[in-house]
Amino acid sequence: MNDATRGYIMIKNVDRVYVDAHGNEIEALKDVNLDIRPGQFISFIGPSGCGKTTLLRLIAGLDEPQNGQIYLDGELVKGTHYERGLVFQQANLFPWMTIEENIACGPKARGIYRYSTEEIREFIELVGLKGFEESYPHQVSGGMAQRASLARALINHPRVLLLDEPLGALDAFTRMNLQDELLRLWLERNTTMILVTHDVDEAVYLSDQIVVMTPRPGKIVQIVNVEIGRPRDRSDADFIQIRSKILKILQFAGEKKSPEYYL
C-alpha cells in the first residue's frame, strides 16, 4: 500500500448508545455514514454532546459501536493501534519523562527504539522542540507540550491522526501558531487528519471538509467543502462566507434542544 492510498476511512451505519448512572439509555450516535479520503483534513463540529468525541473514539478503537462498522483501508477497526494516532485536548505527557523520552514511547513499546534514535531527533526538530529534549513537561509551555504530543503520535507514522480539540486549552496566539504548525505537518506527512473542534474559524482555516453534526442523537446534518486555497486569510470574503454558512447550519441543527451529555 503506497502513501497515496493510506488513511482511507469508511464509517458505515454506526450507532452508539450509552447507559447513564440512572439506567437510562443515551443515544450518542445514530446511523452515521461517512467516507474520509486518504490525506484529507476533515473537521467534526457541532453542539456539545452531539457525539463528536464519541465518533473519534470509535475511529481510534477506544470504543465499539452497537451497530455498524468502521474500516481503515478496508480493515475493520478493532481495538487501538499505533497506526491510528490520537492527540487529546491536554498534552497527557508522562510527567516523570523528559520531552525526548515521551516522544520515544511509541518506538520503545514497539521494540524498535534502537533503530529510531535518529528519527526521534528529527521529529523533535520537526515540531520545533530542539534544545528542549531534556526538559520535563512541567518545564515547558502548554503549546510546547502539545507539540511534543503531536511528535509522539506522528513518530509512529500513523495512517490517520485523530485530534480531539488539541488546541482548545491554549491562548489565542499560541493556538493560531499551532494551527499553522498542524497544517505544515499535514502537508509534509500527507497523513489523514480528523479534528474535533467547537471553533468554527479553526475548522474553516484547517479543513478540506467540515462535517456538521446535530445534537443528541448525533447525526451528520451536512458536509461542507472548503474550496478556498491555502494559506487562508481569516478576513477574506470567501473565508467569512463559509464561516457564516457553518454558523447558519449549526443554528438550524441546534433548534431541537436537549440536555447536554459529554460523551
pLDDT, tens digit (0-9, with 9 covering 90-100), for 64-83 = 999 999 999 999 999 999 99
Q: What is the pLDDT of residue 5?
A: 67
Asked whether the predicted pLDDT for residue 48 surpasses 90, the reply is: no
For the entire predicted model, the pTM comes to 0.89
Asked whether the predicted pLDDT for residue 260 surpasses 50, the reply is: no
The stretch 251-255 carries a mean pLDDT of: 67
Q: What is the pLDDT of residue 226?
A: 96
| Confidence at 245, pLDDT banded by 50, 70, 90 | very high
Residue range 119-176, pLDDT digits in tens: 889 889 988 899 999 999 999 999 999 999 999 998 888 999 999 998 888 888 888 9
* Cell digits of residue 52: 463528536
Separation CA 139–CA 163 (nearest Å): 24
Q: What is the pLDDT of residue 106?
A: 85
Asked whether the predicted pLDDT for residue 250 surpasses 80, the reply is: yes
Q: What is the pLDDT of residue 203?
A: 96
Q: What is the pLDDT of residue 115?
A: 66
Taken in order 171, 249, 208, 155, the sign of the CA dihedral is positive
Asked whether the predicted pLDDT for residue 262 surpasses 90, the reply is: no
Q: By C-alpha distance, which of 162, 178, 176, 87 is closest to 127?
A: 178
Percent of the chain residues topping a pLDDT of 90? 64
Give the DSSP H or E segment for 203.
helix 200-206
Separation CA 174–CA 171 (nearest Å): 6
Asked whether the predicted pLDDT for residue 247 surpasses 60, the reply is: yes
In this structure, are residues 44 and 213 in contact, taking their beta carbons and an 8 Å threshold?
yes
Radius of gyration of the chain (CA): 18
